[in-house]
Structures are given as structure tokens and as C-alpha cells.
């Protein structure tokens, strides 16, 4: 049978402290006997000012930055307000993301097949 006074088990939630009666709330309160835990303050970085350029926060920031750099470096002769609006439509963003996945998968397959070819150099068609 298990002994209720086992040592080495898990400590209870209310093990290191005592209970007191709170007159204001008319309820029992648990007061910990342990020193207060040090709360580490996390600094939240602020966004750098970007002037009049506004970046969208609802998609991945890296993808947005890549798209903005591509638009910034594109030749002026092909850019128009309609093209820029088209590139920022949700359906176009989904298409671009799908193309990125397809290209990444193609490169993974190409790399894998290339490594297999290097491992078995004589497994190709005979001459």
C-alpha cells in the first residue's frame, strides 16, 4: 500500500506557506513562506520609424520585406499603381506563397536526386 507521508514525491501547491482568514473578502488566503520570485522584465522592442511607408503586420514580415525590396528594385517602366495593388491582394499573396513552396520542394528534390547520383555514379543507362 502507498504511504501518504512519502518523501521524494511531488510537492503540493500549498506546501510552503500557511492559510489566513481575510476579513475583507471573508475567505481563506494562502500566504507563501518562500521569498518572492524574481520577475524578469522583458523589454519589448519598438518599431523603427519608417516615414510614410507602412508595412502590413498580418503576414510574415520577412516575406513582406522581400516583396517590398523586389518592388523597390524593380524597373520603373514596369511598375504601375495597378500592378502594386495586384501584388498586395490576398489571392496574389497566396499564389506567391504557393510558388515559393513549389520552388522550395523542387530544389529539395533536385538536391536529393543529385546526392543520389553522386553516391551511385554507375547506375545510369549503359552506353
- Bridge partners, residue 28, by sequence: 21
Instruction: Please state, in angstroms and rounded to a whole number, the distance separating the CA atoms of residues 13 and 17.
Output: 10
pTM above 0.75, yes or no: no
Domain contains 97: yes
pLDDT at 110: 92
- Bridge partners, residue 29, by sequence: 20
- Residue range 9-59, pLDDT digits in tens: 556 777 888 888 988 888 888 888 888 777 777 666 666 666 666 655 555
- Residue range 3-12, pLDDT digits in tens: 555 555 556 7
Domain contains 53: no
Domain contains 54: no
Could you tell me the residue range of the domain that residue 92 belongs to?
A: 61-119
pLDDT at 9: 53
pLDDT at 105: 93
Domain contains 38: no
Q: Is 96 exposed, middle or buried (0-12, 13-18, 19+ CB in 10 A)?
A: middle
Domain contains 22: no
pLDDT at 36: 79
3-state secondary structure of 34: coil
pLDDT at 79: 86
pLDDT at 107: 93
Domain contains 94: yes
Are 109 and 89 in contact by the 8 Å Cβ rule? The answer is: no
Give how many domains the chain has, as a whole number.
1
Domain contains 39: no
- Residue range 66-116, pLDDT digits in tens: 777 888 888 888 888 888 888 888 898 888 888 888 998 999 999 999 888
Domain contains 28: no
Amino acid at each position: 500500500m502507498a504511504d501518504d507521508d512519502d518523501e521524494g514525491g511531488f510537492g503540493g501547491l500549498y506546501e510552503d506557506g500557511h492559510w489566513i482568514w481575510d476579513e475583507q473578502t471573508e475567505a481563506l488566503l494562502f500566504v507563501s513562506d518562500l521569498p518572492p520570485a524574481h520577475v524578469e522584465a522583458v523589454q519589448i522592442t519598438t518599431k523603427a520609424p519608417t516615414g510614410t511607408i507602412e508595412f502590413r503586420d498580418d503576414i510574415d514580415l520577412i516575406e513582406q520585406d522581400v516583396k517590398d525590396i523586389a518592388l523597390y528594385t524593380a524597373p520603373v517602366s514596369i511598375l504601375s499603381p495597378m500592378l502594386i495593388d495586384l501584388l498586395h491582394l490576398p489571392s496574389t499573396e497566396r499564389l506567391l506563397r504557393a510558388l515559393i513552396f513549389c520552388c522550395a520542394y523542387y530544389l529539395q528534390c533536385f538536391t536529393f536526386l543529385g546526392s543520389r547520383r553522386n553516391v551511385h555514379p554507375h547506375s545510369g543507362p549503359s552506353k
